[in-house]
Chains A and B, each alone.
Chain A
Amino acid sequence: MAGSDLFTGSLDLIILKALSWGPMHGYAVGRWIRTSTSDALTLQEGALYPALHRLERRGFLDEEWGMTDTNREAKFYRLTPAGRKALRAETARWQSYSQMMTAVLAAARP
């Protein structure tokens, strides 16, 4: 992914996590990522949109046009049941993966 230091697939997981709180439009997702990672993630914000649309196409997200708090028309994304399931599965996979990586990296010299 252009301009990103993410591991493959982690952006998708982050988006799913962001939307697990409820429907959001793209900007809000981006803002949530920035705040929740304390701006530590170097990410071209534009990269968010292909990821969103790809998740939508895979059936993990539903789109819906609605009004923002400031009364502007915006496209909202919402987790579908499939998206929620994917979030659970990916979270579990990520956790076991990171534990494994942590263990490997902390391992003693053979």
Chain B
Amino acid sequence: MKRAFRVPSSGGSRRDVEREIELHLQLRAREFEATGMSPEEARRAALDAFGDRSAVETEVAGIHRDTIRVRQRREWLGELRQDLSVGARMLRRAPGFAIVALLTLALGIGANTAIFGVIRSVLLRPLPYPHAEQLVQIWEDHRALGRAEPEWLAPPDFFDWRDQNKTFASMAAYGGFGADLTGDGDPESLNGLSVSGNYFDVLGAKPDVGRLFTMSDDDANAERVVVLSHAFWERRFGADPAIVGRRLTLNGNQWTVVGVLSDRFRAPAQIAVPDFVAPMRRPADSRCRRGCVTWHAIGRLAPGVSLAAAQADLNRIAARIAVESPSTNAKVGAWLIPLQEQITGSTRPALVAISVAVALVLLIGCVNLANLLLVRGAARSREIGVRAALGAGRGRVVRQLLTENVLLAVAGGVLGLVLGIAGTRVLAALVPAGIRQVQEIHVDAQVLGFAVGITLLSAALFGLVPAIHAARAGLMSSLRQTSAQSGRQANALRGMLVVTQLSLAVVLLIGAGLLLRSFLAMQRTDLGYRESGVYFSSLAFPQARYKDQAQTLAAIEDLLTRLRANPAVKTAEATDVPPLAGGGDQDMTTVPVGSTPLPGQPSTMWYRSVSPGYLPAMHVRLVAGRWLSEADRVGPPRVALINEYSARRFWPNQNPVGREFVAGHRPDSPRITVVGIVASTRSDGANAPYKPELFLPLEQSPPGFVTLVLEPARDVASLTAALRQALHEVDPLIPADAVQPIDTLVGDMVALPRLYALLVGLFAATALLLAAVGVYGVMAYSVAQRRREIGVRLALGAAPSHVARMVLGSGGRLAAIGLGVGLGGALLTGQLIGKLLYGVSPYDAATFVIVPVILGLATIVAAWLPARRAMQVDPLVAIREE
């Protein structure tokens, strides 16, 4: 028996079984023929002896069906193991390449995973309410009155909208409710919410303990009841299970606890987890009339109703009110914002911009790797040629190369995931505290899935093209030692990849440049008041104990007098709303006497009550007239300071000092005389526009709460001690908040822009580095490839500098194309970050000039090293090489 060679076994395929049996029959027939039968008889006899041929074939094929599959899988796994070990060996042999590739991937995958984690938690995950998509925030629309922002609701408007609409299932109102808890341990100032009786029904909230509210709790004569947040219940009462029925003294009134909220409850308000929630207990004929905007409102759309339909419905009602009460509601409409958008709207542009940035970094990284792999693939064409000659098909070679790439990608993905988990924590800082608690942002199966997905996608992105290319080039060059054609093709491909990289890097760099300039502009902005050296402390005088204004005023003055007498205090002043407090000041309808305000402007000024020394203490500049003084006491004449913005708007081309205006629109509204003009200030921060402002003497408009503005004579500790002592002497029941330096408020203002600029800048720097590495790689490789040509040129008398120029020139060409495409892309993406910019245009000329210069320089440096190497080529050695 001779066995010349082994053919790869094909198992028990039907065809093989047929061949096997046919052979049997033929040999058996020959045996019969030897006994003297005719060939036909012999064949028949063989078939008879065999039995049912087709049944046997079927039976045998059935036996093998599973085996074939198992064997194929085993072979595949065997090859995979082989591929993996070869791949690992190749990577170990080129540690530089492996490290660069790993870092690139880890960074790209990590950043993408982190940003995905945040985006999913903040933008994608539905709000924690049943049928959250039906919830909308309801505002008044005062845009026709010149107010760009959504406006709160006047209670009468709310009641009309609530009662007359046909598109809402329900509608609830709420407002903030700061209250001092006394009589049960240390006094404490609490952040609460005051809500209409159906508030929790609209949100679909359930209590953990006891009950929530009903409409009857909302009545002015109802018993005062309150529900506590889970966190406050645990903190203050140790999660006392017998909390229901307990009486609390809030602002001097007795409130009965009826329930505790679930710890998953989040209020769709600035304070996501209020300490307590109380019913408004307001009768329909509230003292606050139309035009008195004090409430927030949320509504739940009836099933199947679109936002547009609800908007039209409320506008119809608003138009009717406008006809009935033209003096207050003439141009007032309704403004509906889906709750999800309301809560995450401000974060969205930043998250989108940053996710685009990280996606670009990953893309650039992948392109870079593809490039490196192309170069490596060319260097390995010998090895691949040998493999091909030994019988490996192109598919097998591609698989081998792909396995290496997947190996890289998986390692990069694992590293990236670690980075991503860490990065998620950093990025969580981007999200303002509120309904989306930072601790809700975490890594889970979905994020892991995303990381795995982009890892594989990256592997395909950077691995497939080079692998196919290398396999093709390798197979070809195994036949012909040098393949000029495939070399040229590879160079063109690499050039294209570098151009892609450069243009993506330009987009990123310009984005980063714009954000950086925006941040610097914001930091340079003169706020118009001092940015350091003073401290704020907020106090509230509960209405229950401070029944009239005189009493409150006396307490504030007593407090200021005691503080000023303390040697630790240099200055003590007061205002109702400090700057940078995140809004909170109120606007007042103002009608100047004997003047026509600029048309098409709001007829309101934003007012603050201030002690006479407050504005000088804040270093606000007096432009005309005089400061407020201690002589501006209760009673007429009522006086005020206005800012330059108000002056220009209400008394255009006139000197407002000495002029009067009516504050309010009621017949008994007081007349107030302007005694001075101060410079306009950025009360709401560097990125907020100037507002028409009005400063009233504290004595003539005492508020129920006050913020002390303190300047220490020595240090903060003694200042705090002085405050605590003075407060204890005036009213031991008023809790003292910690003093807050204005520096932190100013710092907070630029914290987010700084973070944006930092993050995008980091990504842009990475992109620049990667692009430079890409340029270097391509140039270095082409120089190495053209050594012989360069040698010939040099031998024929070309100056080395000429050769260097040639190399630099081809680098420059790539850079020029990349820059051109990139600048075009940057112009398109300017729109995207427009919302994040302050004081700089998305088409800022300086940025669009500087970035190309930086990138050009980086390209020159990257191309210079290979160019120098080209100059140093020894013609003799280079020519003799081949």
Contacts and interface: CB of A to CB of B under 8 A. Distances in A.
Contacts of B63: 50, 53-54, 57
Nearest to A74: B23
B51 A47 contact: yes
Contact of B51 (A26, A45, A56): A45
Nearest to A4: B51
Interface in B350-376: none
Nearest to A2: B51
B719 to A, nearest CB: 88
Contacts of A67: 1-4
Contact of B1 (A44, A65, A69): A69
Interface in B13-34: 16-17, 19-21, 23-24, 27-28, 31
A46 B3 contact: no
A75 B1 contact: no
A110 interface: no
B64 A57 contact: yes
A56 B697 CA distance: 103
B24 A65 contact: no
A100 to B, nearest CB: 32
Contact of A44 (B12, B31, B51, B60): B51
A63 interface: yes
Most A Cβ at <10 Å: residue of B2, B7, B20, B31? B20
B76 interface: no
B23 A45 contact: no
Contacts of A65: 6-7, 9
B59 interface: yes
B23 A27 contact: yes
B50 interface: yes
A75 B19 contact: yes
Interface residues of A, number: 31
B7 A49 contact: no
Interface residues of B, number: 30
A23 B6 CA distance: 14
A9 interface: no
A27 B1 contact: no
A25 B19 CA distance: 12
Contacts, number: 89
A66 B23 contact: no
Interface string B46-69: 000111110110011001100100
Contacts of A3: 51
A68 interface: yes
Interface in B48-100: 49-53, 55-56, 59-60, 63-64, 67
A23 B1 contact: yes
B24 A45 contact: yes
Q: Is the interface of A mostly helix, strand, loop or mixed?
A: mixed
Nearest to A28: B27
B20 A68 contact: no
Interface string A14-52: 000000000101110011000000000000111101100
B56 to A, nearest CB: 4
Contact of A66 (B2, B52, B56, B67): B2
Nearest to A71: B2
A45 B3 contact: no
B20 A47 contact: no
Contacts of A63: 9
A60 interface: no
Given A50-B60, A66-B3, A67-B3, A44 B23 contact: no
A66 B51 contact: no
Contact of A49 (B4, B17, B27, B28): B17
Interface string B656-696: 00000000000000000000000000000000000000000
B1 A68 contact: yes
A27 B32 CA distance: 13
B2 A27 contact: no
A73 B15 CA distance: 13
B51 A75 contact: no
A54 B60 CA distance: 8
Contacts of B51: 2-3, 44-47
Nearest to B57: A49
A23 to B, nearest CB: 7
B129 to A, nearest CB: 61
Nearest to A23: B1
Contacts of B28: 27, 30, 45
Most B Cβ at <10 Å: residue of A26, A27, A69, A73? A27
A68 B49 CA distance: 22
B3 A26 contact: no
B638 to A, nearest CB: 105
B8 to A, nearest CB: 9
Contacts of A44: 49-52
A46 B52 contact: yes
B23 A72 contact: yes
Given A45-B49, A74-B23, A64 B60 contact: no
29 contacts: A2-B51, A2-B52, A3-B51, A23-B1, A25-B24, A27-B28, A44-B51, A46-B21, A46-B52, A47-B51, A49-B56, A49-B59, A50-B60, A53-B12, A53-B17, A53-B63, A57-B63, A64-B6, A64-B9, A66-B2, A67-B4, A69-B1, A69-B2, A73-B23, A74-B23, A75-B20, A75-B23, A76-B1, A76-B3
Interface of B: 1-4, 6-7, 9, 12, 16-17, 19-21, 23-24, 27-28, 31, 49-53, 55-56, 59-60, 63-64, 67
Pairs of residues from A and B, 3 with the lowest C-beta to C-beta distance, nearest first: A44-B51, A66-B3, A46-B51
Given A3-B51, A26-B20, A53-B63, 9 more contacts: A26-B23, A26-B24, A44-B50, A44-B51, A45-B28, A46-B21, A49-B20, A50-B59, A64-B3
